[in-house]
Chains A and B, each alone.
Chain A
Amino acid sequence: MAASEEDILRSELRWSMVVGAAVTLIFAAILYAGLVLHVNPPSNIETIDPKTLHLSAEFTESNLGTKVEAGGQVTTRIVATQFAFDPQCVVVPSNEPVTLRLTSPDVIHGILVTGTNVNTMVIPGYVSQVHTVFTKTGDLLMPCHEFCGFGHSQMWATVRVVPRESFRPDADGRAACEKS
Chain B
Amino acid sequence: MAAPARSTDENLTETDVDTVMEQVPKGALALAGTAVLLLLIGWFFVYFVIFIPRGSVG
**Which A residues contact B (CB, under 8 angstroms)?**
1-3, 7-8, 11, 15, 18-19, 22, 25-26, 29, 33, 37-43, 115-119, 130-135
Contacts and interface: CB of A to CB of B under 8 A. Distances in A.
B45 interface: no
Given A8-B25, A19-B36, A117 B18 contact: no
B36 A18 contact: yes
Contact of B21 (A2, A19, A43): A2
Given A1-B22, A18-B36, A29-B47, A116 B58 contact: no
Contacts of B29: 11, 15
B56 A39 contact: yes
Given A29-B47, A131-B57, 13 more contacts: A2-B18, A2-B19, A3-B22, A8-B25, A29-B44, A37-B52, A39-B52, A39-B56, A39-B58, A41-B58, A116-B55, A132-B58, A133-B56
Contacts of A26: 40, 43
B57 A117 contact: yes
Contacts of B52: 33, 37, 39
Nearest to B33: A18
Interface of B is mostly: helix
A3 B44 CA distance: 35
B51 to A, nearest CB: 7
Interface residues of B, number: 21
Contacts of A40: 57-58
Nearest to B23: A3
- Nearest 7 pairs of A and B residues by beta carbon: A2-B18, A40-B58, A117-B57, A117-B54, A38-B56, A132-B57, A2-B21
A22 B44 CA distance: 11
Contacts of A131: 56-58
A72 to B, nearest CB: 18
